Each structure stands twice: as C-alpha cells, then as structure tokens.
Amino acid sequence: MSLIDYELKHGKIHTKETLKSETKRTIRMLVITLGTMIFVLSIAFLFISNSGAQKGNILQKLKSENKDLKNENIDLTTKVTDSNSFTNLQDNKQIFEMQKIETKNYVTPEDNKIRK
C-alpha cells in the first residue's frame, strides 16, 4: 500500500490512497456488512419461524385439551341425567301404587305363544 504525500497551500500534509488500497478497503467493508446482514437476518428468520412453531404446538395442545374437556362434560352430563332419572323413578309414588300385571298379552299371537 503506497501512499502519496502532497502539500496543500495551508501547509498541511494530506495522504492520498491508491485506488488499489481503497478498493481493498471497500471490498473488506462490503464483505463485513453483508456478513453481518446475513447473520442478523438468519437469527431473525429462526426466531420468527420458531415462534410460529411454538404457537402451533400450543394451539394443538389446547385443541386436544378442549376435546378432552368436551368428552368429560358429555360423560358427566350423562351421569347426572342417569342419576336424576333413577332417583325420580324411585321417588315417584305412582309407580309403587300401580297394580301388578296378572296376565301378559302381547300385540301379535306369535308373541303370546313364545311367552308360554
């Protein structure tokens, strides 16, 4: 890298860079800038894609939990309904006051033959 010295009117000495050294410095800065940009954009891309995957995973877990809770709700509703209907039948006094069946007659004659 050769520098050329020259003197201005005011007595200050300035150095000029050759085109070759200026080109090397510019290329080095360009490579550093591009490398930094690629690194930062890669980190940003990984962060964004990772957050999307995390949200999708959380959504799947919540859907599964929602489905399980709906099934549990259906089971509990069925149990409550069965329990209420059985206690209503036991508490109903009209059922106990009904007469016992002495003769059983079915709708069709074939059914009456099978019974005997």
* pLDDT, tens digit (0-9, with 9 covering 90-100), for 60-105: 999 999 999 999 999 999 988 887 776 666 666 666 667 677 777 7
End-to-end CA distance of the chain: 122
- Report the alpha-carbon angle 31-37-43, nearest 5: 135
Q: Is 65 a domain residue?
A: yes
Q: Is 49 a domain residue?
A: yes
Q: What is the DSSP letter of 108?
A: S
Percentage above 70 pLDDT, the chain: 72
> Does the structure show a pLDDT above 80 at 54?
yes
For residue 110, what pLDDT is reported?
77
Q: Given pLDDT bands bounded at 50, 70 and 90, which one contains residue 109?
A: confident
Q: Is 5 a domain residue?
A: no
Q: Is 69 a domain residue?
A: yes
Number of domains in the chain: 1
- CA dihedral 54→58→59→62, nearest 10 degrees, is 180
Strands (E), 1-116: 3-7, 13-17
Taking a C-beta distance cutoff of 8 angstroms, is the pair 22, 4 a contact? no
Domain ranges, residue 47:
20-99
Residue 30 and residue 25: Cα distance in Å, rounded? 9
Residue 92 CB-half CA count within 13 A: 9
Q: Is 6 a domain residue?
A: no
Taking a C-beta distance cutoff of 8 angstroms, is the pair 115, 101 a contact? no
